[in-house]
A and B are shown apart, each in its own frame.
Chain A
Amino acid sequence: MAAFRSNIFMLAFFLCGFSVFVTGDVQTNQMNVAETVFIDNVPTTETDASPPSVTEQSQTAEEKRLWEGTEVGTNLADGASDNKVDHVHDTMQATDAPPSPPAKDQTQRFAFDERIWEATNVEINLVEDAPPIRDKEADEADHVLDTMQTQDFPPPSTAKDQFQEELVIKPLHSGDIYASFQFRTQWDTDFLLGSKVSHYRLFPKSLGQVISKFSVRELHISFTQGYWRTMQWGQPFLPSPPGAELWVWFQDTVTDVDLAWKELTNVLSGIFCASLNFIDSTNTVQPSASFKPLGVGNVTDQRFLRYAVLPREIVCTENLTPWKKLLPCGSKAGLAVLMKSEKLFHSSFHSQALHIRPVCKDWQCKSTSWELRQTLNVVFDLHTSGQGKREWSLFKMFSRTLTEACPLASSSKVYVDITDNPQGELFELSPATPLVSQAVVLGDGRTYSVYDLTDHATFGQTHSLNVLLRWRAAESGEMLRPLLHGERYVAGYGLQTGEIHTLVYNNHPYRAFPVLLLDTVPWYLRLYIHTLTVTSKGRDNKPSYIHYQPSKDRLQPHLLEMLIQLPPNSVTEVTVQFERALLKWTEYTPDPNHGFYVGSSVISALVPSVVAMDTNNTQERPLFSSFFPCKEESTYFMRIYTEPLLVNLPTPDFSMPYNVICLTCTVVAVGYGSLYNLLTRTFQVEEPSQGLAKRLANIIRRLRGVPLLT
């Protein structure tokens, strides 16, 4: 009985200990503030003089003047701009100014495409603080009209939808090859006003159903494996963070955006075979400034925007196959035949993306059509696999050659970047092509050789096109340092506190420009926002706009958005300290010791163009046109992503509870057993039998005839 009682005590004691262990992580949360904190110092008008912010304002202005003082001689364009908003307006006008007439038809089309993509981007991105104005759309239409008229755009075809495909190949300075596919389907229809019946021709049915069911206005999704090394490779055409990224603008008719977002992520995870269903409120944010719509439309209310990143997502063939299926020609014809997954995934970087947005249908932009852009970017490391020989061909990269264009495509082209090779002294490109195109891509004038696949002459005698590039010189020239670059790491030691460092580089020699920094941090890293510091060139750099939304445990992540002015030729460091939270034992991932990912920071910026930096510019153009830097090309929009972070959280030994159970139970059982024996056994005195030694001694004694021992 006593044993039984002690057993109960032991068990009760153990259970208490265990429950303490389990509930130990329910700690008080310091940051459990529900409302969003806005710290906004940007003066919206020139005559702004609100008393509380006046000192800070003058401080920043003073700093600003300091920088200007050092570089005032070179900075002609920005001399007049006093604060950021002014600067922003300045650049906006720049995009509105009519561009100078370029030289060739090919160039124009390409450049136009690029610019429209950027221009809409820029325009909406920068009017972030202004309320949506009715005139804006008309304004935009005017702008588009303007650009359209200066460049002879091909007349709109009668077909209701059209498809274009394009491959750009760019030899990188590191010796790698960058191949970027773009497929564009444009469809003149209205998903939302039309009747229930939908008839699809080139546009994929599954996506059309998604758009109309969830009233999506814009959808951007990307799957990326690997990290884009900006310092070695320059800028990508379309940036994307490692893992999966999804951001969606809903129509303003949607009443329950959260519900629509949840269902949409589930449907998309089914369509793309990805784990997008792991997107929930703990990793979804509504950025206030960083992600503005890229298509036409005047709703910029962030209530209809959702943004989520899954940095853990692994991208592989099962994501590529459904992506390829959305193309009208599948992987049967056109450029898509090159997409063999065993080659595409044997690469340093792989990123596939899909963008849906409404675009202007015609010159007047009175109605919209839907654009579906599918892009695939790959970086091949041919230098190491090619036994040190620097040459590449389509066949070497993709183990296929091109034989035909997709018959449904209205244009199908392959571009090869030959900017560094104007005289053919660096490398040799075969087969040679007479078509050359020039375009300003990401603020840099580039020259491309063009292969038009719709032209039968391109394929020549062999009926196949295998673009081959052989290097002559061992070393390619120095790469221009990218003007904007970001890095991020976790500092600190121990498992309790730490510090996130974000470094933003402005490599422009004489111009300062503002960047928008967006950070989303999961709730289990509790940010101490009072420790937020922004320093550049060794002194404090006060952000002019901060939008911070604190996290709620298990409900929402931290969101931190800042507008920071980057001084020229500087490194700006943003640090913030955090504390690691203890998770409940069911909240750990299956491999908790691997660490927990924190998604990339997003840096969006209007970057001064390299073209304006070019001193040779004055030699090619008439003198009267080149005194002031050409405004139209002076800035361009850029978005870069930093590395995702991998943070170790305090991780318990998950086998411990069972070990403890085993150990305590054994101890209890042994105690119980001995007590039980003690209580139930009867003890009696027993005559000990003669020992072995005594018996032996007696035998010897008997032999000797001595009396025996008793």
Chain B
Amino acid sequence: MEEDALNQSTAAEADISLHMLSESPSGSVVIYVVPESSTVLPEGVSVYVGQRRTALLRAGGQMRVAVALKEVLASLETWIKQVLQVMSFSHGDITAALSDRVRPGDRSREGLADSMRAFKSSPGYEITFSLLNPDPTSHLLHWDVEAAISSYIQPLLSKMAPVANFSIDSQILYYAVLGVNPRYDPTLNAYTLNADSLSHVINPVEARLGSSAASSNPVLNFLLYVPDSRHSPLHITDHRRHTVPSNAFSSPRWGGIMVYNVNASGTELPVDVHIDMRRVMGVFLPQLRLMLGVQSAAPPPGFLIGPCGNAGLADWELDRLMWTRSVENVATATTTITSLAQLLDQIGNIVINDNIAEQVSSAVASLQLAVGQLEVGNLGLAMQYSKEAILQSERAFFDPSLLHLLYFPDDQKFAIYIPLFLPMCVPILLSLLKMASEVRQRPGQGQAKKD
């Protein structure tokens, strides 16, 4: 059966038919070793990573002579390690997930940037697409964002549903301008925004975006900016002053901005512009993947990563994300509970209500369950328990009855009694002084008496 599947003409087809044969549980990786003579893998490729949880590995040249199973495995070991590094949860992922809590130390700059880019784990995310139209008198923009979201964004989000809840909004903002004036570049015959100035772009726009009124989940913003006719076309240039082909950039843990140039050649204003949503979503989708923490590191040489299907996310990528998120959630919940304990240590007379105690204990129980499930490799349950742990620990920590300022410190109580204690101290101190002076005089007197 599996041999039949592996006899397919291309790796992608083999991958699909292998998946039909047996579905591997989440968190696992199945590696099929194919003989060197097999034509499934293209020339020069030794490992094919499928869109499910399978990988095809071409046996090395020395395999022909090897006989014992042990030797075969030994020779494949380096490859398998590499496959696992790509497809499964590795040491690097742990450090990335805990980057906020672990000192960066010797980690590479790039790894740090990667981990900073993604949003922190949260039970839900709000995704907002905004179309910025700085000049509605010249452009009348139409975008079919509803259809674009349902065909491009929604498959990815429904696949990621076990990780978090997502809600999507879109809006059109008029007279929204960028914070930087683009510079005219005569060589390109266009206006340019340099990479250095991009950090100033967002602030004035953000005031108009409006924070999410209905929930406290983090918001991912995706802005589509259509420059007005006086600053058109507008290109984003990188540090070496080359134009960026996608004409977009992303801001870590905030969102992405894309500049969409229209050639307003029409004589009659305003010009109707229909925006090509395919092009736009082609930019926003990878940005969204990055923001949500799906990492796409460059594969090692000899690896071929299969196309990830219409969901935009392979099964093994989802597994890896769930590993990362669970670990991150466990760490966050632990920190929250620890800091709650620290707070209670600091303020001795704080009142802990029963419901808080209950929440803390159930948070700890969920944490233990989550860790147990992680050990077993049961990702879905681990994710769910870790989410519960976070929710309960946060609810306990942010309970209004635990407000620090409700408990005024002891030194203030002493301040109230100062008018009592201060005058009462005066005669005591005076008599103490007197006693001290008497003690000092007494040896002298004793000597005098001896004489």
A333 touching B175 in the complex, CB below 8 Å, given contacts A196-B167, A267-B214, A407-B270:
yes
Q: Do residues A670 and B214 form an inter-chain contact, with CB atoms below 8 A?
A: no
Q: Do residues A407 and B424 form an inter-chain contact, with CB atoms below 8 A?
A: no
Within A152-209, which residues are at the interface with B (CB < 8 Å)? 196-202, 204-207, 209
Which residues of the partner chain B approach A202 to less than 8 Å between Cβ atoms? 172
Q: Does residue A424 face the partner (Cβ distance < 8 Å to B)?
A: no
B431's partner among A198, A271, A329, A680 (CB-CB below 8 A) is A680
Q: Do residues B146 and A197 form an inter-chain contact, with CB atoms below 8 A?
A: yes
Give the interface segment out of B227-235, B399-407, B415-423: B415-423
**Complexed CA–CA distance, A496 and B44 (Å):** 97
**Complexed CA–CA distance, A678 and B190 (Å):** 98
B169's partner among A205, A207, A333 (CB-CB below 8 A) is A205
A670's partner among B211, B270, B423 (CB-CB below 8 A) is B423
| 0/1 string, A318-332, CB within 8 A of B gives 1 | 000000010011101
Which residues of the partner chain B approach A404 to less than 8 Å between Cβ atoms? 137
A204 touching B419 in the complex, CB below 8 Å, given contacts A196-B167, A329-B175, A407-B136:
no
Q: Do residues B172 and A267 form an inter-chain contact, with CB atoms below 8 A?
A: no
Within A317-372, which residues are at the interface with B (CB < 8 Å)? 325, 328-330, 332-333
Q: Do residues A677 and B169 form an inter-chain contact, with CB atoms below 8 A?
A: no
B422 smallest CB distance to A (angstroms): 8
Q: Does residue A613 face the partner (Cβ distance < 8 Å to B)?
A: no
Q: Do residues B213 and A668 form an inter-chain contact, with CB atoms below 8 A?
A: no
Which residues of the partner chain A approach B427 to less than 8 Å between Cβ atoms? 672-673, 676-677
Q: Do residues B419 and A408 form an inter-chain contact, with CB atoms below 8 A?
A: no
Q: Do residues A673 and B426 form an inter-chain contact, with CB atoms below 8 A?
A: yes
A665 touching B212 in the complex, CB below 8 Å, given contacts A196-B167, A329-B174, A330-B174:
no
Q: Does residue B208 face the partner (Cβ distance < 8 Å to A)?
A: yes
Within A674-700, which residues are at the interface with B (CB < 8 Å)? 676-677, 680
**Complexed CA–CA distance, A207 and B208 (Å):** 14
Which residues of the partner chain A approach B170 to less than 8 Å between Cβ atoms? 197-200
**Which of A210, A407, A658, A662 has the most B CB atoms < 10 Å from its CB?**
A407
Q: Does residue A532 face the partner (Cβ distance < 8 Å to B)?
A: no
Which residues of the partner chain B approach A201 to less than 8 Å between Cβ atoms? 171-172
B331 smallest CB distance to A (angstroms): 31
A197 touching B210 in the complex, CB below 8 Å, given contacts A408-B174, A672-B424:
no
Which residues of the partner chain A approach B208 to less than 8 Å between Cβ atoms? 325, 330
Residue of A nearest to B435 (CB): A680
Residue of B nearest to A668 (CB): B420
Q: Do residues A676 and B428 form an inter-chain contact, with CB atoms below 8 A?
A: yes
| 0/1 string, B86-107, CB within 8 A of A gives 1 | 0000000000000000000000
**Complexed CA–CA distance, A673 and B423 (Å):** 8
Q: Do residues B214 and A210 form an inter-chain contact, with CB atoms below 8 A?
A: yes
Residue of B nearest to A670 (CB): B423
Q: Does residue B149 face the partner (Cβ distance < 8 Å to A)?
A: yes
Q: Does residue A270 face the partner (Cβ distance < 8 Å to B)?
A: yes
Q: Do residues A209 and B149 form an inter-chain contact, with CB atoms below 8 A?
A: no
B198 smallest CB distance to A (angstroms): 24
A260 smallest CB distance to B (angstroms): 12
Which residues of the partner chain B approach A491 to less than 8 Å between Cβ atoms? none
Which residues of the partner chain B approach A680 to less than 8 Å between Cβ atoms? 431
**Complexed CA–CA distance, A672 and B428 (Å):** 10
B14 smallest CB distance to A (angstroms): 38
How many Cβ-Cβ contacts under 8 Å join chain A to chain B?
102
Q: Does residue B369 face the partner (Cβ distance < 8 Å to A)?
A: no
A661 touching B419 in the complex, CB below 8 Å, given contacts A199-B145, A209-B169, A672-B424:
yes
A197's partner among B168, B174, B212, B428 (CB-CB below 8 A) is B168
Within A204-219, which residues are at the interface with B (CB < 8 Å)? 204-207, 209-210, 212-213
Q: Do residues B175 and A669 form an inter-chain contact, with CB atoms below 8 A?
A: no
Q: Do residues B420 and A665 form an inter-chain contact, with CB atoms below 8 A?
A: yes
Q: Do residues A665 and B213 form an inter-chain contact, with CB atoms below 8 A?
A: no
Q: Do residues A205 and B210 form an inter-chain contact, with CB atoms below 8 A?
A: yes
B210's partner among A206, A328, A332, A661 (CB-CB below 8 A) is A206
B424's partner among A210, A213, A673 (CB-CB below 8 A) is A673
**Complexed CA–CA distance, A267 and B212 (Å):** 10
Which residues of the partner chain A approach B270 to less than 8 Å between Cβ atoms? 407
Q: Does residue A666 face the partner (Cβ distance < 8 Å to B)?
A: yes
Which residues of the partner chain B approach A210 to less than 8 Å between Cβ atoms? 213-214
**Complexed CA–CA distance, A622 and B136 (Å):** 51
**Complexed CA–CA distance, A662 and B212 (Å):** 52
A669's partner among B137, B214, B423 (CB-CB below 8 A) is B423
Which residues of the partner chain A approach B169 to less than 8 Å between Cβ atoms? 197-200, 205, 209
Q: Do residues B174 and A665 form an inter-chain contact, with CB atoms below 8 A?
A: no
Q: Do residues B420 and A200 form an inter-chain contact, with CB atoms below 8 A?
A: no
Residue of A nearest to B140 (CB): A407
**Which of B136, B137, B145, B175 has the most A CB atoms < 10 Å from its CB?**
B175
Residue of B nearest to A263 (CB): B214
Which residues of the partner chain B approach A267 to less than 8 Å between Cβ atoms? 213-214
**Complexed CA–CA distance, A668 and B169 (Å):** 70
**Complexed CA–CA distance, A102 and B167 (Å):** 50
A546 smallest CB distance to B (angstroms): 39
Which residues of the partner chain B approach A198 to less than 8 Å between Cβ atoms? 169-170
Within B123-180, which residues are at the interface with A (CB < 8 Å)? 128, 136-137, 145-146, 149-150, 167-172, 174-175
Q: Do residues A666 and B419 form an inter-chain contact, with CB atoms below 8 A?
A: yes
Which residues of the partner chain A approach B211 to less than 8 Å between Cβ atoms? 206
**Complexed CA–CA distance, A404 and B210 (Å):** 26
**Complexed CA–CA distance, A668 and B425 (Å):** 12
Within B181-235, which residues are at the interface with A (CB < 8 Å)? 207-208, 210-215
Residue of A nearest to B130 (CB): A205
Q: Do residues A665 and B423 form an inter-chain contact, with CB atoms below 8 A?
A: yes
Which residues of the partner chain B approach A199 to less than 8 Å between Cβ atoms? 145-146, 169-171
Q: Do residues B174 and A328 form an inter-chain contact, with CB atoms below 8 A?
A: yes
**Complexed CA–CA distance, A670 and B419 (Å):** 11
**Complexed CA–CA distance, A658 and B210 (Å):** 47
Which residues of the partner chain A approach B175 to less than 8 Å between Cβ atoms? 329-330, 332-333
Which residues of the partner chain A approach B145 to less than 8 Å between Cβ atoms? 199
| 0/1 string, A507-533, CB within 8 A of B gives 1 | 000000000000000000000000000
**Complexed CA–CA distance, A549 and B419 (Å):** 49
**Complexed CA–CA distance, A329 and B175 (Å):** 7
**Complexed CA–CA distance, A677 and B431 (Å):** 8
**Complexed CA–CA distance, A332 and B419 (Å):** 62
A200 touching B171 in the complex, CB below 8 Å, given contacts A209-B212, A408-B136:
yes
Q: Do residues B419 and A665 form an inter-chain contact, with CB atoms below 8 A?
A: yes
Residue of B nearest to A404 (CB): B137
Q: Do residues B213 and A270 form an inter-chain contact, with CB atoms below 8 A?
A: yes
Which residues of the partner chain B approach A196 to less than 8 Å between Cβ atoms? 167-168
Which residues of the partner chain A approach B417 to less than 8 Å between Cβ atoms? 665
Which residues of the partner chain B approach A408 to less than 8 Å between Cβ atoms? 136, 174
**Complexed CA–CA distance, A662 and B415 (Å):** 11
**Complexed CA–CA distance, A668 and B175 (Å):** 72
**Complexed CA–CA distance, A677 and B434 (Å):** 12
Which residues of the partner chain B approach A669 to less than 8 Å between Cβ atoms? 419-420, 422-424, 426
Q: Do residues B210 and A204 form an inter-chain contact, with CB atoms below 8 A?
A: yes
**Complexed CA–CA distance, A358 and B172 (Å):** 22
Q: Do residues A661 and B424 form an inter-chain contact, with CB atoms below 8 A?
A: no
**Complexed CA–CA distance, A658 and B417 (Å):** 10
A200 touching B172 in the complex, CB below 8 Å, given contacts A661-B419, A665-B419:
yes
Starting from the known contacts A205-B210, A404-B137, A665-B420, 5 additional A-B residue pairs (CB-CB under 8 Å) come to A197-B150, A200-B170, A209-B214, A325-B210, A332-B175
Q: Which 6 A-B pairs have the closest CB atoms?
A: A669-B423, A665-B420, A332-B175, A665-B419, A213-B214, A200-B171
> Can you report 24 A-B residue pairs in the complex whose CB atoms are below 8 A from each other?
A11-B420, A196-B167, A197-B167, A197-B170, A199-B145, A205-B128, A205-B169, A206-B210, A206-B211, A206-B212, A206-B213, A207-B213, A210-B213, A210-B214, A213-B214, A325-B207, A325-B210, A333-B136, A665-B423, A668-B420, A670-B423, A672-B423, A676-B427, A677-B427
Binding site for B on A (CB under 8 A): 7, 11, 196-202, 204-207, 209-210, 212-213, 267, 270-271, 325, 328-330, 332-333, 404, 407-408, 658, 661-662, 665-666, 668-670, 672-673, 676-677, 680
